[in-house]
């Protein structure tokens, strides 16, 4: 298993896909640096991982703040001496029709879903370039592959991540820095994303959809582990994942 001994940063680690991925990678022998805004949840997760003989530390991080991302990467490097993987997983999904004009929520999605990814890349890229290795993994969405009514701005942020990651992969190959990328496009996965929806009709429809089709975030965690486990000369750059029963 190539995961063993690798240093992995996970943002959005306090719940959902981030939490599930942390637990799985810890079992595979990774050294984890867990990042999120909610310190109490990070403490609990680190304690659980250590109780199961895993290795993890945490760093309270707001991905919308450039300095927080820089400090996170510096902390990881100081703690473990290197960084092999960064999983940029933090995101929100307060979906609504454009006509609802929830402009504040649009800006929050842009700040977290796009700028949060950019800030993470900016923080870790100098190190990855210097060491001529590294792996950037992001959580996009099936809404980053096709258009869904009610998800215009959310989808736009996830389309942006898709393009950003594809260009990062191409440029790293051209520049000879050997940086691997993987973008994950989940469909209905049980996380806290639904909790961010304030539009009543959208929340009602999405809740019904997830109740009927949603699957465990463990399923996505296994894909992250698969991507990391590939040999250094293999880059599997995109994964679309969702419930077998969901016609996404």
pLDDT tens column, 210-236: 999 999 999 999 999 999 999 999 999
Under 8 Å between Cβ of 58 and 46: yes
pLDDT band with cut points at 50, 70 and 90 for residue 2: confident
Give the chain's radius of gyration (CA, Å): 17
> What would the two tokens of residue 152 be?
């215009």
Domain 7-231 has CATH 3.40.50.720: yes
* CA pair distance 179, 136, nearest whole angstrom: 7
- Give me the pLDDT at residue 71, please: 98
Under 8 Å between Cβ of 73 and 63: no
Map 142-185 to HEC letters.
Answer: HHHCCCCCCCHHHHHHHHHHHHHHHHHHHHHHHHCCCEEEEEEE
* CA pair distance 154, 110, nearest whole angstrom: 8
The predicted model gives 198-221 an average pLDDT of 97
- Give me the pLDDT at residue 170, please: 98
pTM of the model: 0.96
- Has residue 191 got a pLDDT over 80? yes
pLDDT tens column, 15-39: 999 999 999 999 999 999 999 999 9
- Give me the pLDDT at residue 122, please: 98
Residues linked to residue 55 through DSSP beta bridges, in sequence order: 31
Catalytic residue numbers? 154
What average pLDDT does the structure give for the chain? 97
Residues contacting 235, CB < 8 A, separation 6+ = 169, 180, 181, 182
* CA pair distance 248, 129, nearest whole angstrom: 37
- Has residue 1 got a pLDDT over 70? no
pLDDT tens column, 141-184: 999 999 999 999 999 999 999 999 999 999 999 999 999 999 99
The predicted model gives 109-120 an average pLDDT of 98
- Give me the pLDDT at residue 237, please: 97
Q: Which residue has the tokens 């894909």?
A: 223
């Amino acid at each position: 298993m190539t995961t063993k001994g690798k240093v992995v940063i996970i943002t959005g680690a306090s719940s959902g896909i981030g939490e599930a991925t942390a637990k799985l990678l810890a079992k595979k022998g990774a050294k984890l640096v867990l990042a999120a805004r909610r310190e109490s949840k990070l403490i609990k997760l680190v304690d659980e991982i250590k109780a199961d003989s895993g290795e993890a530390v945490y760093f309270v991080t707001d991905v919308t703040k450039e300095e927080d991302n820089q400090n996170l990467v510096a902390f990881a490097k100081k703690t473990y001496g290197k960084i092999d993987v960064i999983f940029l997983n933090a995101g929100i999904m307060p979906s609504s029709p454009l006509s609802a004009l929830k402009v504040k929520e649009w800006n929050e999605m842009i700040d977290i879903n796009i700028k949060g990814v950019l800030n993470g890349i900016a923080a870790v890229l100098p190190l990855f370039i210097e060491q001529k290795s590294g792996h950037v993994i992001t959580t996009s969405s099936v809404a980053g592959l096709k258009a869904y009514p009610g998800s215009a701005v959310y989808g736009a942020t996830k389309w942006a991540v898709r393009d950003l990651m594809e260009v990062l992969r191409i440029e790293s190959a051209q520049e000879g820095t050997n940086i691997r990328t993987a973008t994950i496009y989940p469909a209905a996965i049980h996380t806290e994303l639904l909790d961010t929806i304030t539009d009543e009709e959208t929340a009602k429809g999405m809740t019904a959809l997830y109740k009927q089709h949603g699957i465990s975030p463990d399923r996505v965690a296994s894909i992250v582990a698969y991507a990391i486990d590939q040999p250094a000369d293999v880059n599997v750059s995109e994964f679309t994942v969702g419930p077998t029963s969901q016609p996404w």
